[in-house]
């Protein structure tokens, strides 16, 4: 067996880390209308990647393709280096790929506790789920017997996140967390996202209001008309973003 070669500084070169999620040249359509036109996106392990762009850029479709909810016409979806095109979304979710959709996806007629109970299918006891959720979101403990539909928008989003985090995701996908919420609530939620990211969860977040995620994201990708036009540190993308939003 041959010895591993050393790099110039004398250390053994390591294999480049396999990204937790990679989209390669993804094309996707609704009927005959192409929405994604060759999207390339990489979410490295333990990082927060923000996908930014104006309405209709294809951000949500990108997330849906990544989560297995929408088929891609061409291209490869790789999770932890394995091609998962055609995998059922529930299979991916059960293994730790969690999507919190736009519109929250909670059961409005069930109480907060019952909504959390629904997540007890995923390897964790109900007590553990409740303990984690109420520790992160003390407000939910106060509202545990209230039906989810009667919660405020921010509380509903907290419940959605609590449900998502109950699955102990390895990869968390967030779609428009700020949708319909007051800025102060959004700041709180993104503070939580930052704390979840600090624990090592890889996060892919789509956000129309770019400023909010700039502080949280390690990498940002700007999408326009179904393509990723630029990827880089958030601070470097401000000009591209203003062009994307204002058409300047």
Partner 1 sequence: MERSERVEQFKADIAEMGVKDPAAARDRMLLRGSVVLLVAGPVLGIIAYTMSHGTENPLQQRDAIIVALIGLSLAVGGGALFVRYALASFMRFWLARLCWEQQAQTDRVVNALESRGASVDARSSQTVTAP
Under the binding rule (CB under 8 A), the answer on residue 200 touching partner 1 is yes
Under the binding rule (CB under 8 A), the answer on residue 133 touching partner 1 is no
Indicate the residue among 93 and 210 with the shorter CB distance to partner 1.
Answer: 93
Under the binding rule (CB under 8 A), the answer on residue 84 touching partner 1 is yes
Residue 69: CB atoms within 10 A of its CB come to: 16
Indicate the residue among 128 and 238 with the shorter CB distance to partner 1.
Answer: 128
Among 1, 8, 10, 82, binds partner 1 (CB under 8 A): 82
Indicate the residue among 85 and 146 with the shorter CB distance to partner 1.
Answer: 85
Whether the Cβ atoms of residue 76 and residue 39 lie closer than 8 Å to each other? no
Cβ-based neighbours of 227, under 8 Å, separated by 6 or more: 36, 37, 38, 39, 58
Whether the Cβ atoms of residue 76 and residue 24 lie closer than 8 Å to each other? yes
Under the binding rule (CB under 8 A), the answer on residue 213 touching partner 1 is no
Give me 234's structure tokens: 């958030």
Among 42, 69, 80, 118, binds partner 1 (CB under 8 A): 80
Question: DSSP H helical segments within 19-178, as ranges?
Answer: 59-66, 89-95, 112-117, 126-136, 138-142, 153-166
x/- mask, partner 1, residues 86-125, rule CB under 8 A, reads xx---xx--xxx----------------------------
CB of 188 to partner 1, least distance (A): 23
Phi, psi of 35 (to 5 degrees): -105, -40
Under the binding rule (CB under 8 A), the answer on residue 168 touching partner 1 is yes
Return d(Cα 105, Cα 124) in angstroms, integer.
Answer: 20
Whether the Cβ atoms of residue 168 and residue 125 lie closer than 8 Å to each other? no
Indicate the residue among 27 and 209 with the shorter CB distance to partner 1.
Answer: 27
Under the binding rule (CB under 8 A), the answer on residue 79 touching partner 1 is yes
- Strand 33-43 relative to strand 21-30: parallel, antiparallel, unpaired? antiparallel
Q: Give the footprint of partner 1 on this chain (CB under 8 A).
A: 18, 20, 27, 29, 32, 34, 37, 45-46, 73-74, 79-87, 91-92, 95-97, 168, 170-171, 199-202
């Amino acid at each position: 067996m041959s010895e591993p070669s050393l790099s110039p500084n004398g250390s053994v070169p390591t294999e480049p880390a396999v990204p937790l999620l990679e989209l390669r040249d993804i094309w996707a359509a609704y009927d005959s209308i192409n929405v994604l036109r060759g999207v390339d996106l990489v979410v490295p392990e333990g990082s927060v990647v923000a996908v930014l762009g104006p309405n209709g850029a294809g951000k949500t479709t990108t997330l849906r393709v990544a989560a297995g909810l929408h088929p891609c016409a061409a291209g490869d979806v790789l999770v932890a280096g394995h091609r998962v095109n055609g995998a059922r979304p529930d299979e991916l979710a059960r293994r730790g790929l969690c999507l919190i959709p736009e519109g929250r996806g909670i059961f409005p007629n069930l109480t907060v506790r019952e909504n959390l109970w629904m997540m007890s299918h995923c390897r964790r006891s109900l007590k553990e789920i409740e303990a984690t959720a109420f520790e992160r979101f003390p407000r939910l403990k106060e509202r545990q017997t209230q039906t989810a539909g009667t919660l405020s928008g921010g509380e509903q989003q907290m419940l959605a996140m609590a449900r998502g985090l109950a699955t102990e995701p390895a990869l968390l996908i967030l779609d428009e967390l700020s949708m319909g919420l007051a800025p102060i609530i959004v700041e709180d939620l993104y503070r939580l996202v930052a704390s979840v990211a600090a624990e090592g969860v890889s996060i892919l977040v789509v956000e129309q209001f770019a400023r909010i995620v700039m502080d949280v994201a390690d990498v940002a990708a700007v999408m326009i008309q179904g393509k990723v036009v630029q990827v880089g540190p958030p601070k470097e993308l401000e000009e591209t973003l203003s062009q994307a939003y204002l058409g300047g």
